[in-house]
Amino acid sequence: MSEAETQRSIETVWRVESARLIAGLARMVRDVGFAEDLAQDALVVALEKWPQTGVPDNPGAWLMATAKNRAIDLMRRNTNFERKQEELVREVGVRMAMDAARVEHGIGDDLLALIFTCCHPVLGTEARVALTLKLLGGLTTPEIARAFLVTESTMAQRIVRAKRTLSAAGVPFETPDGTELDERLPAVLEVIYLVFNEGYAATAGEDWIRPGLCEEALRLGRIVAELVPREPEAHGLIALLEIQASRSAARTRANGEPVLLLEQDRSRWDMLLIRRGLAALKRAETMPGPLGPYGLQAAIAACHARALDAEETEWVRIAALYDALAQVSPSPVVELNRAVAVGMAFGPEPALTLLDEIADEPALARYHLLPSVRGDLLEKLGRAAEARSEFERAAEMTANERERTLLLARASALVDPA
């Protein structure tokens, strides 16, 4: 294996194993920040050794063993080692009791415990989500910053402060229950939602989708939904993710080129995932109270899933559902999506009016989908030169290579009638 191939293998291994590695280490050392440092140290060793020795048969176990040895070495150097040993001995019984409780309740998942630990109330909601995205999904700071529509430096500071706060507060590594679980659940659901979104439409890199992140979000979403069976938003979220994931095979061509929703071969949609999603949505709809943000988004996704072809899509209903979503969870991105639905249901002119109303929103200043949607509407109105300019502007903003290629292709295909 060449050095370049080994480097790519290491990057792939890290993407797959980092979350479980950090979660397992956090359970042992009881400190999320320290666990991440140990995992990074193990990665550095891998980068030094694997080009000479080759990638091990079980790279995850190799990284874990290396990180554990590093932890032991650091503790031995600590001047308070004897005190640390006593503390660790006392904690063994506690950890065994916690592990037994997790097995008894059917949880037994370090990754889930990591999410709930990072979503402790000692952190603000955005800090909880950002930290968990970094530790769980292996997302880079720039990727998380784009997900939050903030600058990279702002997000980097937020993540560092979050780790320090957890460490200083001595937050235990555990899956809570009772009232404490209810308090942390909204942030946990948001984490899973954003991890899936990053996998479904990658913010950066050469791949349009990152299936590993989608699969991990689905797995964790299913666990959480079973953990809180009476929480409608947990079922609304998993309904949304199941239905969205059903389109994965149809979202790219064999060469990785993106295929937009209305152009997809719906025979390639996964009917099992659609049935699972519709069942979860029905479960959420039968619970007391109106649908929440995730349930409403699932209802929108269900409109697409039920349509046999693009022409049968109930765009008027989708526009109405976006109206409801804008009431319960207002945001510039929701308004942007509402404009798309209005454009499909009632034509491009009223949709452009809606876009004009949010054009100056600071959160959308570098959001590439705003000019992309505007370009699509202008194209439908026959304003080719303006549409081309918007597609080119969107291409400049996106950090995803596949998306940039698609936008530039749309721009170059436009011919000004004049």
35, 166 Cβ separation under 8 angstroms = no
Q: Calculate what percentage of the chain has a pLDDT beyond 90.
A: 48
d(CA 384, CA 393) in angstroms, rounded, equals 14
* Other C-beta atoms lying within 10 Å of the C-beta of residue 179: 8
Alpha carbon 331 to its chain centroid, in Å, reads: 18
Higher-confidence residue of 353 and 254: namely 353
pLDDT digits (tens, 9 = 90+) for 183-240: 889 988 988 998 898 888 877 777 778 888 888 889 889 988 988 899 999 999 999 9
Residues ≥6 apart with Cβ < 8 Å to 82: none
Higher-confidence residue of 214 and 126: namely 214
- Check residue 377 and give its pLDDT: 97
Say if pTM beats, i.e. exceeds, 0.85: no
Which helix (H) or strand (E) covers residue 373, if one does? helix 369-380
Mean pLDDT, residues 151-178 = 88
pLDDT-derived band at 104 (thresholds 50, 70, 90) equals: very low
What is the pLDDT of the chain when averaged over all its residues? Answer: 86
Q: Position 186: which residue type?
A: P
* Other C-beta atoms lying within 10 Å of the C-beta of residue 111: 18
Closest CA to 341 of 294, 290, 377, 395: 377
Mean pLDDT, residues 103-129 = 73
Q: Which of 163-177, 200-214, 289-303 has the highest mean pLDDT?
A: 289-303
d(CA 388, CA 412) in angstroms, rounded, equals 7
- Check residue 418 and give its pLDDT: 55
How many CA atoms lie within 13 Å of 344's alpha carbon, on the beta-carbon side? 21
Closest CA to 168 of 69, 76, 75, 33: 33
- Check residue 16 and give its pLDDT: 76
Distance separating the N- and C-terminal Cα atoms of the chain? 56
Mean pLDDT, residues 277-284 = 97
| Buried-state track 186-215, b at ≥16 Cβ within 10 A, e below 16 | bbbbbbbbbbbbbbbbbbbeeebbbeebbe
- Check residue 106 and give its pLDDT: 40
Closest CA to 163 of 209, 136, 132, 191: 132
338, 353 Cβ separation under 8 angstroms = no
How many CA atoms lie within 13 Å of 229's alpha carbon, on the beta-carbon side? 1
Residue 205 DSSP SS3: strand
